[in-house]
Amino acid sequence: MTDATDMTKPTRPQLPPDVPPVASADLRRAILTVALLNLGYFAIEIVVALAIGSVSLLADSIDFLEDASINALILLAFNFAPRIRARIGMGLAGILLVPSLATLWIAWHQYASRAAPAAAPLSLAGLGALVVNLSCALILTRHRRHHGSLTRAAFLSARNDAMANIAIILAGLVTLQWPSIWPDLVVGLGIAVMNAEAAHEVWTAARDEHRAAES
């Protein structure tokens, strides 16, 4: 598990079979709130990304979808058997790869057209994402050391996603000063790589849990 002082992107939550079957109503409410915040901002960010042709915003919107899925898995972990939870996790990992491919398509289109995204909406959307991620981290703060690695990893993920949002804001500011496709493109591809790695980690964790449940 990533140390709390490590500001790099943490490994996505593992799906151990020993997740507590009963969680407090407060914890359930916190996780549900975080899942809904992530899902809501995914919808906002992907609309802005497609409207201005931003690779970084599209990649970040996928990260919001991924985090919403992970928090949904955490809620399921409190109610379902490991085998069912593992199958859901493998399905979600596969779904997450689909929009990741869309990021590559947008990146190629941006490179071919040489059209820089609108700088102001880029930075404002990144700022909104930062607010949402910091809010999620704050909501999960008091639960990060309880209920196993799932909740702690969700907290670390929300906290460290904020670093990507800062990069998006900076990309927008640089583009505003020096119009170019490169700031947005570089940040977007970096986030896309992290998304692909995270989807693989979710798949691996779910597959291992499924094998453990079968044995």
- Mean pLDDT over 70-75 rounds to 79
pLDDT at residue number 145: 56
Instruction: Compute the distance between CA of residue 168 and CA of residue 131 in angstroms, rounded to an integer.
Output: 13
Residue 170 in this model has a pLDDT that exceeds 80: yes
Amino acid 69: pLDDT = 81
Least reliable range by pLDDT among 38-47, 67-76, 152-161, 182-191: 152-161
pLDDT at 164: 83
Q: What is the pLDDT confidence band of residue 7, given thresholds at 50, 70 and 90?
A: very low
Pick the residue with more confidence: 135 or 208?
135
pLDDT digits 0-9 by tens, 94-147: 766 766 677 787 788 788 888 888 999 999 999 999 999 989 888 877 765 554
DSSP one-letter string for 101-154: HHHHHHHHHHHHHT-PPPHHHHHHHHHHHHHHHHHHHHHHGGGTTSSHHHHHHH
Average pLDDT of the residues in 83-100: 71
